[in-house]
Amino acid sequence: MLQYLKRKHPIDEEDQESENDSQPSTSKEEKEQRKFFGKKVTVSEKAQEASYLVAELVAKKMKSHTIAEGLIMLAFKIIVKTMVGEEAVREISKVPVSDTTVSRRVDDMSRNISDILSEILKHTKFALQVDESTGIMGKEQLLAFVRFDNREIFSL
């Protein structure tokens, strides 16, 4: 997951500096407008990683995405405030865990897993087993198993 985070969300200060240098000089009013509207919200690398870890936890436990903002973050703040102090609570509050953020992160991780699996299967022999059934409520279900030998992949 950390590899995914670094690959998809690189922090490159040189790119940010070169963006600012390439803007032509303009009037004072336009500069003020750019300054006002051009502010970017940046999240520290640790806060970004924590956000992905929380999203992964929510996905693994198969809970609603709103649990992160509503329960997990509230519990974090209470524990940190009690044990460490108010300044640590402000740091914890910087971790993005809104329901849309968690949902987006879970989607990103599942897409990444799907991409990795697709890439592995392109270069590996595999077996596919498919089963179809109808549940108690009359809903059709399709179950697919993919089996492949992955010893070479993890030895890299």
> Mind listing the pLDDT tens digit for each residue in 116-144?
888 888 888 889 999 999 988 889 999 99
Amino acid sitting at position 12: D
Residue 76's CB is within 10 A of a number of other CB atoms, namely 19
Whole-Å CA distances, 45 to 5, 6, 85, 88, 140? 9, 9, 22, 16, 43
The string of pLDDT tens digits covering residues 16-32 is 444 455 555 567 777 77
Q: Nearest-CA neighbor of 110 among 2, 7, 4, 6?
A: 4
Q: What angle do CA 152, 124, 129 make, to 5 degrees?
A: 120
pTM of the complete model: 0.59
The Cα–Cα gap between 81 and 17 comes to 37
Residue 136, pLDDT score: 87
Residue 64's CB is within 10 A of a number of other CB atoms, namely 13
